[in-house]
Amino acid sequence: MKAAKTLLEPARTAVECYAWLPREELTRLAALAYSMAQYASSPDDGQGFIQDGEPWSNRGTFMADMLDNLALLVGEYALSVGVEAPDNHSPQRLAVLREDFRKRSHRLALELQQECAA
Is 76 within 8 Å of 36 (Cβ atoms)? no
Would 5 be classed as within a structural domain?
no
As for how many domains the chain has, the answer is 1
Its domain, for residue 28, covers 22-44+54-117
Does residue 11 belong to any structural domain of this protein?
Answer: no
14: in domain: no
pTM: 0.78
Quote the CA–CA distance of 79 and 67 in Å, as a whole number. 18
pLDDT tens column, 17-55 = 999 999 999 999 999 999 999 989 988 877 888 988 999
